[in-house]
Chain A
Amino acid sequence: MDYLSHIYLPGAVALWSALIFALTTMVGYVLALSGDASGISFARRSYSFFALSIFLTAFVLISLLMARDFRVEYVYQYSGMDLPWFYQFAAFWAGQKGSFMIWLFWGTMLGLLVRRTTGKSEPAVMGIYTLTLLGLLLILVRENPFLMLRQTPVDGQGLNPLLQDNWMVIHPPIMFIGYAASAIPFSFAMAALWRRKYDGWAARAFPWALGGFLVLGTAILMGGYWAYKTLGWGGYWGWDPVENASFIPWLFGTVLIHGLYMERTKGRFRRANYVFTFLTYISVLYGTFLTRSGVLADFSVHSFVDLGISGWLTFLLGGFMLLGLYLIVTRWKEIPTVPSEDPSFLSRGTFLVMGSITILIAALVITAGTSAPLLTRFMESQSQVGPSFYNRVNLPIAMLVAFLLSFVPYLTWKETPGNVLLRKMALPIAFSVIVTVAAAVWRVRDVFHLVFILLAALALATNLQKTIDKYRAGGFKAMGGYLTHVGVGIILLGIIASSGYDQSTKVTLTQGAPKQVDDMTLTFKRFIPRQGREKERMEIEVARAGRSPFMVYPKLFVNDRTRQTMVNPDIKSSPFQDLYVSPIEFDPGQPRLELAQGQSGQIGDMQIHFVRFNLNMDGNAVAALNAGHSTTVGAELAITNKEGKTFSVTPVYRLNPATGTVETPPTSLPGGGTITMAGINTGSHAVQLETTGLANPMKLSIDVTKKPLIQLVWGGLYVVLLGGILTMIQRFRQARVLEQIAG
């Protein structure tokens, strides 16, 4: 009973009911599989109750967060009084337990839709799908998110300041839709093997595979944006294990889509597609295992530390691997295949096979790199591999992909004569040569890079030409695939330009003193104190000959709660390059001054006279303090500047005795600089003052990086996603037609 008294029952009961209904769903589908006709309706009803329970579980957790009920340990650990409601909401997925919860939530809700697309295979598909959800549910039942503390704290520990960003609200939930969706093609494929019905599943699973690919791609794009625009990591991709854990399933998903396309159009890849669904799903579980079990804790920026679920994750991973391998191996010989026609080298089939193998290899190589700490575990010293590994290995892979993509649009399934191909590709070839020459004239001297650019531009151009052909012939319907490949070409050009040819300079600026960096003159104008939710910013002017100067405002501030120094870069985007300015260090040149009532002191050119404390800034301060309310004390100052002009300012000191938090907002001074009431010396009735920008000049060290053509990376990703959406719509239509034919 001790356990029950330390658990938030409404949430826990909903969670436990979900477990019961998940089990009865399984029972129903097993009955249906063994021929009991009533099983299926029982299973469907159970699944609806299961979905309802999961919905309620999530709802209770969200309500507890929104109510800031710090009795609940999870709420206490990841949220706090200082958070606005949307971060309070996002705290749902800030921790390990909540991450599994949101994953399970999406998985369950997707299941309601999947059920409608299964046709006669429902018991097997939904049985296996529910089993995948049950795995996640067991983790949550063990790691209950509704545990309560023995005492109620007044405030939570707050959200990690790195996560206090708009992207935190949207990026993780979308990522988990992608994770959840990876189980759908897997369930279709394994059900087909189980029932020995090898036809038809590919058409049904195809749109789901595309959907998962799209959602995961969107999430990866958002993660890149987040890293680049606000986290100040200097780039959009760092080959960190957590990034790789989402990228690897995406690559396997890409292979799966092409495999399913081949199966649907030519009946090829009929065996391989089972392996591809297996790899896509298992890589999601494996990535989760790597990043959440603590095996990489010392190797990644954002891996979670072990919460005692390694065992469960290993069990889940092992269980589904065994299930998948067992089904694939035992049925392998039975799976019907069409006798492959003699592939001629210049045919679409050959190129598709080669392309799939290439991407498969990329995924495997990245998996090996990410697993390095595991692979080297028993060697002399445990080791990880740096980004150089991924960059070196993926450069030739990307070139091969671009090469293959260039030819695919104008290859037919039969042998394509070389001269016909050349004639159709004349215009794209001319385009790519021009691009390559332009790159060589600009700055690219590396022959390897020039070949890379030639191939990427060719892939872009042939696919663009074909997209336009297809659009003219049949509107948006048939162009999706080619459009996606146009995007890939664009991305590759963007990556090579922005990562291979970026120019970074680290420079220290003194306030008001212009400094030359390349063709720019940088001037650190002023420090702008915090205003409301807008954090402390630095104003830097960037001037270039012949162009009008502009300002950038990178941020550098200290988080109130954790005292961590936070950095937000500012990026000035122009069509051909981004100027990326990130603060490194800020020296406010600020002397402290302690003045008793009536005393005067000097800082720089300013003479500061402390007139008296103001105890009536916001009601009577002494009364408020005695009553335990939030208290505001002001310090009335008379400040005389070098021209002999005197003005008065009143910086304030706010104390909340309930939470122990202190706020000392800086007050701006006429003519620049700020003054802050940093503390009160109650013994001597003196005020402690801090100033910025008055005596020693402020100094700011920044990292200034020019990233050429980085817009192509984002633009290309959007094109890829757009092409994917068009293809998905088309494949959903086809699956529905199939449904009607099958009845």
Chain B
Amino acid sequence: MKVKTNRIYLFGILLLVAFAGFSFTAFKDSMTPYVSYDRAKEGDRIVQVAGALVKGSYSYAAARESLFFTLQDPKTKQTLRVRYKGLKPANFEDAISIVAIGHYDEKAQELEANKLLVKCPSKYQGAEVEKTYS
């Protein structure tokens, strides 16, 4: 019996190690690092970039079912054209900052985003209160 028990434990540990390895690979594969626009333009992997929406740069092309817009890095003032195939996020036009996650398409010279995060209210609401009412 004792030998059998040990064998079960050994098997369990092996399984755990294998799973840990698998998880680590999956983790590395799914990482979407935050990068500069220059780095994003190398186009070798899925990345995420953040920036402000350039006013008036957004358009929707119904034929391609895509949303096009330009992001600007608030620090370096560089810009990046983004294409997003899908729903326009609810508070898109008022966003203070937009995060686009996707892959840079070198031919079209656009970041082909598959997910957008739109950063809005609370933080800046507080700041506005100070300005308007004190």
Chain A residues within 8 Å of B, Cβ to Cβ: 73, 76-77, 95-96, 149-151, 153, 157, 160-162, 232, 234, 297-301, 304-305, 307, 342-345, 350, 354, 357, 361, 365, 368-369, 372, 376, 380-389, 392-393, 396, 506-508, 562-567, 582, 584-585, 587, 699, 701, 703
Contacts and interface: CB of A to CB of B under 8 A. Distances in A.
Contacts of A95: 122
Given A77-B125, A149-B133, A564-B93, A381 B27 contact: no
Contacts of B118: 301
Given A342-B2, A376-B33, A381-B33, A564 B90 contact: yes
Contact of B88 (A73, A234, A389, A584): A584
Given A365-B23, A384-B31, A508 B86 contact: no
Contacts of A161: 90-91
Given A298-B34, A385-B32, A386-B32, A150 B90 contact: no
A584 B99 contact: no
A342 B33 CA distance: 48
B10 interface: no
Contact of A380 (B32, B33, B88): B33
A585 B86 CA distance: 10
Interface string B80-93: 00000111101111
Contacts of B88: 565, 584-585
Contacts of B134: 149-150
Nearest to B31: A383
A384 B87 contact: no
Contacts of A506: 65, 85-86
Contacts, number: 141
B36 to A, nearest CB: 9
Those 10 A-B pairs whose CB atoms lie nearest each other, nearest first: A389-B30, A305-B123, A381-B33, A383-B33, A385-B30, A506-B65, A564-B91, A383-B31, A508-B62, A392-B26
Contact of B87 (A232, A368, A372): A232
Given A383-B32, A584-B65, A587-B62, 20 more contacts: A77-B125, A232-B90, A300-B117, A301-B117, A304-B122, A361-B19, A381-B33, A381-B34, A381-B39, A383-B34, A385-B32, A386-B30, A386-B101, A506-B85, A506-B86, A566-B90, A584-B60, A585-B88, A701-B65, A703-B86
B90 A567 contact: yes
Given A162-B90, A584-B88, A384 B32 contact: yes
A76 B30 contact: no
Interface of B: 1-2, 4-5, 8, 12, 16, 19, 22-23, 26-27, 29-35, 39, 46, 48, 50, 60, 62-63, 65, 85-88, 90-94, 97, 99, 101, 115, 117-123, 125-126, 129, 132-134
Residue of A76, A150, A389 with most partner-chain B CB within 10 A: A389
Contacts of A382: 33-34
SS of B interface (majority): mixed
Contacts of B5: 342-343
Given A150-B133, A298-B99, A562-B94, A381 B30 contact: no
Residue of B48, B90, B126 with most partner-chain A CB within 10 A: B90
SS of A interface (majority): mixed
B126 A77 contact: yes
A234 B12 CA distance: 38
A563 B93 contact: yes
Residue of A95, A585, A587, A703 with most partner-chain B CB within 10 A: A585
A500 B92 CA distance: 29
Contacts of A354: 12
B91 A162 contact: yes
B26 A393 contact: yes
25 contacts: A77-B125, A150-B133, A150-B134, A153-B132, A298-B97, A304-B122, A305-B123, A342-B1, A342-B5, A354-B12, A376-B31, A380-B33, A382-B33, A383-B34, A384-B32, A388-B26, A388-B29, A389-B30, A393-B22, A564-B90, A565-B90, A565-B93, A567-B90, A584-B87, A585-B62
Contacts of A151: 133
Contact of A385 (B31, B50, B86, B90): B31
A327 B133 CA distance: 50
A76 B23 contact: no
B46 A386 contact: yes
Contacts of A305: 122-123
Contacts of B32: 383-386
Contacts of A387: 30
Contacts of B93: 563-565
Residue of A343, A383, A565 with most partner-chain B CB within 10 A: A383
A301 B121 CA distance: 12
Contact of A564 (B22, B23, B94): B94
A497 to B, nearest CB: 23
B29 A393 contact: no
Contacts of B34: 298, 381-383
B119 to A, nearest CB: 7
A510 to B, nearest CB: 10
Nearest to A390: B30
A562 B27 contact: no
Contacts of B8: 343, 345, 350
A387 B29 CA distance: 11
B123 A393 contact: no
A517 B132 CA distance: 52
B114 to A, nearest CB: 9
A555 to B, nearest CB: 12
A147 to B, nearest CB: 10
Contact of B27 (A160, A389, A563): A389
